[in-house]
């Protein structure tokens, strides 16, 4: 039996950009904005409309740094999107002047195109080089938690295989009545086959999608054992955050 458990919204006050979900790592705060699947937000400015200040010394546009779970390409102001386009087309964007992407986007904020990308800035004197690398996994393994909701000890064999049919988890362990045990499962994005088999012969299988985090992310997998059934529930957390265009507009 498969269910989907949605954890509480996670705020981004003090967001560090790590791909580990969990309320213990971030403060929760309320937000009046709502985010759709494309990353655009009600009432926010996108596609080159974000406001910025002018540097009185140079007359150039300046941006306060945005820290968020992600920023999409269509949320970027035109001059920053131009830097990104060159970096993707040529492998890097090189400038001897101000690098606006570095100024506007925090180190822990991935760029979402078809998938999330981390940016890298290399400095050599006055020259700055901007490049991007696709994220392929969470920073740490997502965990499988097995909960024995009975009065008796149970022994379970847990097998998780990846898209190449390679076992990433293949272990057997006992869990006492009304107790929980955790094992590291997987960190790489992809779809996994999960099989739970008990010593009494009961067996349950399911697929588990470990998708790249955006507005939502994967926290782990919970397996519940009762006298009547085995349930498998992916744990999903959702962000509550202020998108980059709103942060730029506010400042």
Residues 143 and 86 in one domain: no
Residue 148: domain span: 137-239
Residues 59 and 101 in one domain: yes
18 located within any domain? no
- Enclosing H/E stretch for 142: strand 137-148
Residues linked to residue 1 through DSSP beta bridges, in sequence order: none
The CATH number for 208's domain is 2.60.40.4150
Residue 209: name the closest of 190, 186, 236, 195 by CA: 190
For 73-85, the DSSP string reads GGGS-HHHHHHHH
Report the C-alpha gap between 52 and 64 in whole angstroms.
8
226 located within any domain? yes
24 located within any domain? no
Q: Going by C-beta distance under 8 Å and a sequence separation of 6 or more, which residues neighbour residue 13?
A: 26, 27, 28, 29
Q: Are 50 and 248 in contact (CB under 8 A)?
A: yes
Residues 47 and 143 in one domain: no
Residues 87 and 146 in one domain: no
Q: How many domains is the chain partitioned into structurally?
A: 2
Residues 122 and 51 in one domain: yes
Residues 111 and 44 in one domain: yes
Per-residue model confidence (pLDDT) at position 62: 84
Taking only the tens of pLDDT, the chain with its 251 residues reads: 444 555 555 554 334 344 554 433 333 333 333 344 444 443 344 444 444 455 443 446 789 999 999 999 999 999 999 999 999 999 999 999 999 999 999 999 999 999 999 999 999 999 999 999 999 999 999 999 999 999 999 999 999 999 999 999 999 999 999 999 999 999 999 999 999 999 999 999 999 999 999 999 999 999 999 999 999 999 999 999 999 999 998 65
Beta pairing class for 71-72 and 111-112:
parallel
4 located within any domain? no
**Residue 97 CB neighbour total at 10 angstroms:** 10
């Amino acid at each position: 039996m498969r269910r989907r458990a949605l954890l509480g919204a996670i705020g981004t006050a003090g967001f560090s950009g790590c791909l580990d979900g969990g309320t213990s790592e971030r403060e929760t705060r309320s937000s009046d904005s709502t985010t759709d699947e494309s990353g655009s937000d009600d009432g926010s400015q996108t596609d080159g409309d974000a406001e910025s200040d002018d540097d009185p010394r140079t007359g150039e546009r300046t941006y306060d740094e945005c820290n968020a779970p992600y920023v999409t390409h269509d949320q970027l102001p035109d001059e920053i999107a131009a830097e990104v386009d060159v970096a993707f087309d040529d492998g890097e964007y090189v400038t001897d002047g101000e690098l606006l992407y570095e100024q506007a986007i925090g180190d822990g904020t991935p760029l979402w195109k078809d998938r999330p990308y981390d940016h890298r800035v290399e400095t050599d004197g006055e020259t700055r080089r901007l490049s991007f690398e696709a994220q392929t996994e969470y920073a740490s393994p997502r965990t499988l938690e097995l909960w024995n909701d009975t009065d008796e000890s149970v022994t379970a064999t847990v097998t998780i295989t990846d898209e190449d049919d390679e076992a990433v988890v293949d272990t057997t362990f006992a869990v006492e009545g009304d107790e929980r045990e955790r094992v590291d499962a997987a960190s790489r994005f992809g779809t996994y086959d999960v099989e739970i088999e008990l010593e009494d012969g009961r067996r349950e299988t399911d697929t588990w999608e470990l998708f790249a985090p955006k507005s939502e992310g994967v926290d782990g997998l919970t397996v519940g054992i009762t006298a009547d059934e085995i349930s498998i529930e992916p744990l999903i957390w959702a962000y509550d955050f202020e998108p980059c265009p709103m942060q730029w507009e506010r400042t």
